[in-house]
Structure 1
Amino acid sequence: MSESGKAADMITSSPVGEWSWEPRAKDAEFRHGHAAQTATDLWRRLAEPGLARPGGKAGVRVSHRNDPRDRVVIRIDCPGTWLEPGGTYRAEKLFAVQVEVWGGTLLVAMLETYSDAWLTMDTRGREQPEVYALNASRFAAALDGISALLGGPPEAGEENRYAAPSTTGFRDVRAEGPAYDDAWGTFETLDRARLLDSRLPRSEDDYEQIADGPVRYVAVRRDDRTLGFVWAAVDDSAAGYVPRTAAGDEAFDAGAAWVTALREARRSGLTPLAALRDAVRRPAPPEAGVIAEGGPVEAPSLDALEELSGRY
């Protein structure tokens, strides 16, 4: 359980829920163009209730045409917004849409969400009636729109460590309780560490990554967005970088630059707090973003900072 005790939407690196559809072909067969059209149509159904926003990242994979398993895959990481009593917030990967066409005979459409705004309990195990009331019906409307488009209800994904998907959204688990009291705190920090480590060479020069007491931190920004936070323990025992998940891949790309800088600081003999002060003074490379003005801020714990980084 987070020390803040206040429920608010958390953004995850792995899906909170997923759904799939297998529509029948209206023509004699599915063509590669059906994949692109269906992916676009799914995005539009998410945009109609105000969930998806323009932008994001798209990728296409096509197998060899002479392959009997001829296959095209289109995947779109969709920026999107959710509502909270304090306003409207955005994540650069709120949804992912994937459409596959296999051999002209099978089309599979999939939707993933990386937000817990649609749940009665957030991914830290806290009830969130206001957030749920503002968002769940909009998400259910998007699922209904996709189902109407594809001619039938979705196959809901299996219950995972965060939530239990259903054909209309998510099952209410308040009576039985979630699978984990604090799934986000248990798993997301590890998932984010793996994503950050995948961008870096192995090294023995990292500072200790665990802090038992308060931490000081500075925000890393690009344009009008916060990408993450460089931090050091107040007792000078640890330092690191926490990505802001809602910023998407940019948060991890910038993090790789800051972790590299922290490793250099440790090799030069700086303590964690001295490394934080050095980060504020030193010009950063373009891929790292810039340190926000205002100097270090203190958080009561590393968990509190991670909570902030997982929200808006």
Structure 2
Amino acid sequence: MITSNPVGDWTWEVTPRAEAIQPVRAAETAVAVWIVLAGHELAIPESKVSVSARAMGDTRDVRVEAAGLPLEPEPLSPGTALSRAVAEADSLEGDFLVGVRLECPGYWLESGVKHRAEKLFAVQVDIWKSSLLVVTLETYSDAWLAMDTRDREQPEVYAENAPRLAAALEEISALLSSAPTPGDPNRHATPAVTGFEDPRIEGFAYDDSWGTFEIPARSRLLRSRVPASEDEYLDITDHPVRYFTIRRDGQTLGFLWASIGDEAAGYEPRTAAGEAAFEAGAEWLLRLRAAHGQGLSALAALSWAAQSPPRPEIGLAVEDTPQEAPSLDALEEFSGRY
């Protein structure tokens, strides 16, 4: 399953002997870690990078904020977006928290087939008072676990993916000359030096952590993009649902659905599509609200929203007639896995 919050993380601390750490060091380190991930196809070239600099005494005092920059082929060469942002941070005088963050699309494997997630890993490199460099690696997939986050054993997926993560962690540790500190156990899993602890031995802290926590978190993330309103359909149902697949430029963004048995309707973002799934989803929710305002039933709203004048930027319904899923839970799981 692909999550919107990390499944686990690892941290390395690097303290130079004497010299102050310049902002460019954070960028160089982030790119070097990205190269390690790319060697295992855990990161691919379409990554995005952000640079920030905040006053140590007041982190609300933001002096540099450059987000969503492309990671260009030679990202630190003069004139690239990253080098310009780093130069801006480097020009500051005083004590600042400088951060460089890379969000990395990458591939996880199942039965030899590559599945792409738009944020498989994230690399965060922070410099504290020019004296401490902290590297954090986060993952947003359970492909490295012997059991997935819905409590099901997945030996084949684990065998294909866990060694890739273990090898990357070992190489990053060699790069930084430091062993990682695994993150704390969380609602999804327990990180370890070489990956994750085996949940078949200790068990998960929560049953079905993906369904229990990720689905509500995903819903909050989606609904935070639209104004609050009571003029809308129910967003949960125990009945089977009909749905349209929403796709843009060959990429599936999510699924527009309506209940067969009651007045529920909504949109499930395809988590693996990343930010684009949520951006489009907000627009589809507004279409459903418009249908509700016209007094349409949920099923009628599904057809009306899918067939109303297209806006290519939010995707188009793929099917001429809706497909059917046995439950909303089944559709949610499908949207979160592939």
CA distance, structure 1, for counterparts of residue 111 and residue 237 of structure 2: 32
Determine the structure 1 residue equivalent to 2:157.
Answer: 131
CA distance, structure 2, for counterparts of residue 295 and residue 279 of structure 1: 13
CA distance, structure 1, for counterparts of residue 47 and residue 322 of structure 2: 32
For normalisation by structure 1, the TM-score amounts to 0.94
Q: Deviations over 1:12-54 (max 9, x none)?
A: 0100001110113266121110000000011111111221111
Map 1:231-242; keep pairs closer than 5 Å: 231-242=257-268
Q: 1:255 aligns with which of 269, 276, 281?
A: 281
Q: Deviations over 1:244-266 (max 9, x none)?
A: 00000000000000000000000
Aligned with 1:73: secondary structure? Answer: strand
Determine the structure 2 residue equivalent to 1:4.
Answer: none
Q: 1:53 aligns with which of 39, 44, 55?
A: 44
Determine the structure 2 residue equivalent to 1:19.
Answer: 10
Shift in Å at residue 91 of structure 1?
0.3
Deviates more, 1:82-91 or 1:241-250: 82-91
For 1:21, give the aligned amino acid: W
Do the aligned partners of residues 38 and 27 (structure 1) sit closer, same or farther apart at CA in structure 2, a change above 3 Å counting?
farther
Asked if residue 104 in structure 1 is aligned to residue 95 in structure 2, the reply is no
Q: 2:94 aligns with which of 62, 67, 71?
A: 67
Q: 1:38 aligns with which of 21, 29, 37?
A: 29
For normalisation by structure 2, the TM-score amounts to 0.87
Aligned with 1:25: secondary structure? Answer: coil
- The number of residue pairs the alignment matches comes to 302
CA distance, structure 2, for counterparts of residue 295 and residue 280 of structure 1: 10
Note the aligned Cα RMSD (angstroms): 1.2
Aligned with 1:141: secondary structure? Answer: helix
Shift in Å at residue 279 of structure 1?
1.9
Q: Deviations over 1:128-149 (max 9, x none)?
A: 0000000000100000011000
Determine the structure 2 residue equivalent to 1:80.
Answer: 106
CA distance, structure 2, for counterparts of residue 225 and residue 26 of structure 1: 48
Asked if residue 225 in structure 1 is aligned to residue 251 in structure 2, the reply is yes
Determine the structure 2 residue equivalent to 1:189.
Answer: 215
CA contact (8 A) 1:214 1:233 kept: yes
CA distance, structure 2, for counterparts of residue 35 and residue 91 of structure 1: 25
CA distance, structure 1, for counterparts of residue 202 and residue 50 of structure 2: 39
CA contact (8 A) 1:236 1:273 kept: no
Q: Deviations over 1:102-150 (max 9, x none)?
A: 2210100110000000001100011100000000001000000110000
CA distance, structure 2, for counterparts of residue 86 and residue 256 of structure 1: 34
Q: Give runs of ≥4 in structure 1 deviating > 4 Å.
A: none
CA distance, structure 1, for counterparts of residue 239 and residue 299 of structure 2: 14
Structure 2, unaligned runs of 5 or more: 55-62, 64-91
CA distance, structure 2, for counterparts of residue 144 and residue 166 of structure 1: 12
CA contact (8 A) 2:188 2:209 kept: yes
CA distance, structure 2, for counterparts of residue 146 and residue 105 of structure 1: 20
Determine the structure 1 residue equivalent to 2:167.
Answer: 141
For 1:178, give the aligned amino acid: F
